[in-house]
């Protein structure tokens, strides 16, 4: 007897069972995707959209000038400059140091100096005070320029508002050579009007 048809039948049944298994597995996976994964993804998208909407609402409620993000960015940008600005604005207890520095510069270049200091004036909405200052110098023009450079190099902030120069009339020239050399220096009066800032 030939049982080859039985072997073929077994193979056919195994193939059908395998196909049926894979078909059922595909249906189960598709069902899971449709019933579980897709709704979860949709919920994640909805939640992300709600979070973005709430974030935008909060940003719109905040005044632009008070946005923490902008304040921190500005602070980081100017943080390096704050140290030098704090050193440039003088403490009210350091007036003597400031005046001594001015006198040292004048003495270094052989200039006669008169310092006129005004009273402190509180600046509105600020912790700083402003003090007017007038420096009157007499000496050689080149030395006065060096004085201005020395004033600029001071670690203090001096806001120069006005500079005026006047030449001093030379006395009548005597006949000896020493007197001629002395008047040849061309003495100049330099007046500097400035403001200084104190805390």
pLDDT score recorded for residue 180? 47
pLDDT score recorded for residue 124? 77
Residues of the chain with pLDDT under 70: 1-3, 5, 62-68, 78-91, 170-185
pLDDT score recorded for residue 147? 93
pLDDT score recorded for residue 68? 67
Taking CA atoms, 46 is separated from 38, 51, 109, 171, 184, in Å, by 12, 9, 77, 94, 89
Taking CA atoms, 27 is separated from 14, 22, 41, in Å, by 20, 8, 20
Q: What is the pLDDT of residues 101-154, one digit of tens each?
A: 999 999 999 999 999 988 877 777 777 778 899 999 999 989 999 999 998 888
pLDDT score recorded for residue 143? 92
């Amino acid at each position: 007897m030939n049982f080859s048809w039985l072997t073929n039948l077994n193979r056919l049944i195994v193939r059908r069972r395998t196909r049926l298994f894979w078909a059922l597995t595909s249906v189960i996976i598709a069902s899971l995707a449709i019933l579980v994964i897709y709704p979860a993804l949709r919920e994640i998208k909805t939640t992300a959209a709600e979070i973005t909407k709430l974030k935008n609402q909060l940003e719109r409620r905040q005044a632009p000038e008070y946005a923490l993000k902008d304040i921190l960015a500005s602070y980081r940008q100017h943080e390096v400059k704050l140290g030098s600005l704090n050193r440039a604005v003088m403490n009210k207890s350091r007036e003597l140091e400031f005046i001594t520095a001015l006198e040292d510069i004048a003495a270094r270049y052989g200039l006669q100096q008169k310092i006129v200091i005004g009273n402190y004036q509180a600046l509105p909405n600020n912790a700083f005070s402003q003090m007017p200052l007038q420096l009157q110098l007499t000496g050689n023009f080149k030395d006065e320029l060096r004085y201005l450079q020395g004033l600029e190099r001071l670690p203090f902030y001096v806001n120069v508002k006005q500079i005026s120069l006047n030449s001093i009339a030379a006395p009548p020239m005597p006949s000896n050579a020493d007197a001629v050399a002395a008047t040849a220096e061309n003495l100049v009066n330099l007046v500097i009007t400035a403001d200084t800032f104190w805390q």
